[in-house]
Amino acid sequence: MALYSEKVMDHFRNPRNVGVIEDANGIGEVGNAKCGDIMKMYLKIEDEIIQDVKFETFGCGSAIASSSMATELIKGKPVSEAMQLTNKAVAEALDGLPDYKMHCSVLAEEAIRSALEDYQKRTGNPLPEEPA
Amino acid sequence: MIYADHAATTKMSDAALLTMTSLLKEVWGNPSSLYGVGQRAREILEKAREDIAAVIGAEPREIIFTSGGSEADNQAIRSAAALGKAKGHMHIVSSAFEHHAVLHTLEALKRDGFEITLADVHENGIVVPEEVEKAIREDTCLVTIMYANNEIGTIQPIREIGAICRKRNVLFHTDAVQAIGHIPVHVAEDNIDLLSASAHKFHGPKGVGFLYARKGVRLSNLIEGGAQERGRRAGTENVPGVAAMAAALKEMQEKMPENAAHLIEMRDRLIRGLQEIPHAALNGDAQRRLPGNVSFCFEGIEGESLLLLLDDRGIQASSGSACTSGSLDPSHVLLAIGRVHDVAHGSLRLSLGEDVTEAEADEIIQAVKEVVTYLRGFSPIWRDLMSGKKEPIL
C-alpha cells in the first residue's frame, strides 16, 4: 500500500493554483517553520466571489496536496460558501489522508479562513457566520 | 533506479542469498538435535560464529546471535545495567544521538532508577573522549557510544573512549550497526566490551544480528528458554540467516579497502555537488564519516516532499524530517548537532551502495538541485528569505 492516495500524489506532483496574486485582497498565513508546515493563501475577491486563489506552501507531500485541493474547492465560489470549507472536506476530496497527516488538512482550512478574515478586515464586510 | 538508502537496509549479496536459500532447503535440522541433519546445522552455525569472530577480532564464544541490532543493543545495555545495579552503580554515560534502540532502553532504565548522562555530540557530530571521561563517575556502570551515526554517518573515537573505559574500569558498549562491514572494527584493539551488529546493514538478511560480549562480561537474558547460545539467548537458532550473515560479512570485509576508496570518492563528489546549492549545509564532519554517507539540510523546503519527488525520478533516499518519522519533531540526531527545527525539517540522507557509479552520483546531484529549486519556488519561507524579510539560517 502506498503512503498516499493517487489523488494526493496527483495534487502533490501537479499542484493547482501555485504562486502569488500580486493584487490579492485577502492573504492568510498559518503554521510555522518549527513544526515543518507553513501555508500562505492569496485571494482575489470581487463581488463576494473568489475570482482567483493561489498558494505557497512549505511542507510535506500532504501539506502541498491539501493546499492545492483547498484552493480548488473554493475557486469561483462565493465567500459565504468558502467560509464553510472544512478540513474533512479537503481530506475527503483527496480520497483520505493518513491519520497522522490530518493536521495538514486542518492547516489548509485555517489558511483559507485566515485569508478570508484578512479580506473582511480590509473591506469591512462582515463575514457570514461559521456553520455550527 | 538509484537506491541511496543503504543505511536503512541493503539488498542481500549473492553469496548471502545463495547460502541462505540452499541451507533453508537442505540443512533444515535443529542444531540441538543429535542426528545428522541437526549436527550438520550445528557445524554451519559454529563455522559462522568463527568467521564472524575472526572479522572483528573476537573469540567465537564471545559471539551471541540475536534477531538484529535492536535486540543486541537491548541485551548489552540491560546486562551492563544489571551488573552495575548489583554493585549499586546506577549511572550510564551515552550520547544524545544514539539510535532509539539505545536511547529508549536507557529511558526505560531511567524509570528503574538509573541516572543517564548524555555526552555532547557537538556541531561536527563527534563525541569528545575527554568529555566522556569527565562524565564518568564512581557509580558509572556503562558507557555506550555508537561506532558511527546512522543519520549523519560521523565516526566516533571509539578506540580512545574504549581506552578511557578500561582505565576507569567501566564497561564499554558500542552500537556498531552502521560500521560493521563498512569500516574496520576490531574489538580488542578498540577496547570494546560489548558490541551490537545487524546483518541487513551489510548485505545480509533481515531479522538476524549478533552481540559481541567480551569473555567475563556476564550477559542477562532477554529471552528465557532453552540452552541455546550457551544459555544466553533462548530459541532455536536461525541457522540459514546466521550463515548468510557470515557470508555477507566475510565478503564485505574482503572488499572493504576497494569499496571504501570508491565510496569515499563518490561521497565527496556528491558533497561537492550539493554544496553548490545555496543555503544548504552538510551535516556532520566532512572527513570523519562513513564512506557512503551524505547528509544535508536545505533551508526553505521540507524533507518528505523532497524524498517523494526524488522517488519520482527513481532515486530512493531518506530524511530526518518530522513528516517521515510520523512525529512532530524532526530527527533527534539533527537537533543534537545543533540544527534548529526550521532547517532540520529540510534534511536529506543519501547512503550509497558499493556499486554506485560516477554517472549516478551526478544524476543524484542534478535531481536534488532541480527538486530543491522547484520546491523553493513556492515556499513562503524561501520567499521571505529572498526578499530579505527573514535572515537565512544556513
Inter-chain touch B302–A55, beta carbons under 8 Å: no
- Return the residue of A nearest to B311 by Cα: A13
| Contact yes or no for B380 and A57 at CB 8 A | yes
Q: Which of B67, B72, B23 has the alpha carbon at shortest distance from B244? A: B23
Whether residues A33 and B383 touch (CB distance < 8 A) is answered with no
> Comparing B14-254 with B256-386, is the CATH topology the same?
no
Question: Residue ranges of the domains in chain B?
Answer: 14-254, 256-386
Q: Which of A9, A58, A61 sits opposite B381 (nearest CB)?
A: A58
* CATH fold for domain B14-254: Aspartate Aminotransferase; domain 2 (3.40.640)
Please name the member of B305, B330, B378 whose beta carbon is closest to the beta carbon of A19: B378
Residues B332-359 pLDDT 10s: 999 999 999 989 999 999 999 999 999 9
**Is position B323 annotated as part of the catalytic site?**
yes
Query: Is B312 part of the contact surface with chain A (CB cutoff 8 Å)?
Result: yes
Dihedral of CA atoms B216, B55, B121, B140 in degrees, nearest 10, equals 0
User: To probe the interface with B, which of A13, A18, A60, A100 has the most B CB atoms within 10 Å?
Assistant: A60
d(CA A89, CA A85): 7
Q: Is B230 exposed, middle or buried (0-12, 13-18, 19+ CB in 10 A)?
A: exposed
Contact status, residue B66 vs residue B209, Cβ threshold 8 Å: yes
CATH topology for B256-386?
Aspartate Aminotransferase, domain 1 (3.90.1150)
* B322 pLDDT higher than 80: no
- The answer, yes or no, to whether residue A131 has pLDDT greater than 60, is no
Q: Which residues of chain A are within 8 Å of residue B341 when distances are taken between CB atoms?
A: 33-36
pTM of the full predicted structure? 0.95
Q: Percent of chain B scored above 70 by pLDDT?
A: 98
Cell numbers representing residue B256 in the block: 572493504
Inter-chain touch B305–A64, beta carbons under 8 Å: yes
3-class secondary-structure state, position A77: coil
A22 touches chain B (CB under 8 A): no
Q: How confident is the model at residue A3 (pLDDT cuts 50, 70, 90)?
A: confident
Summarised one tens digit per residue, pLDDT across range B180-217 is: 999 999 999 999 999 999 999 999 999 999 999 999 99
DSSP secondary structure code for residue A78 in this structure? B
Q: Cβ separation of A18 and B378 shorter than 8 Å? A: yes
Residues 6 or more apart whose CB falls under 8 angstroms from that of B330 comprise A36, B303, B320, B321, B322, B339, B341, B344, B345, B347
pLDDT reading at B321 higher than 80: no
- The structural domains of chain A, ordered by start, are 6-119 (3.90.1010.10)
For position A127, what pLDDT does the model report?
64
ipTM: 0.93
- Give the CA distances from residue A16 to residues A44, A70, A75, A114, in Å, rounded to whole numbers and listed in that order: 16, 10, 11, 20
* Residue range B35-90, pLDDT digits in tens: 999 999 999 999 999 999 999 999 999 999 999 999 999 999 999 999 999 999 99
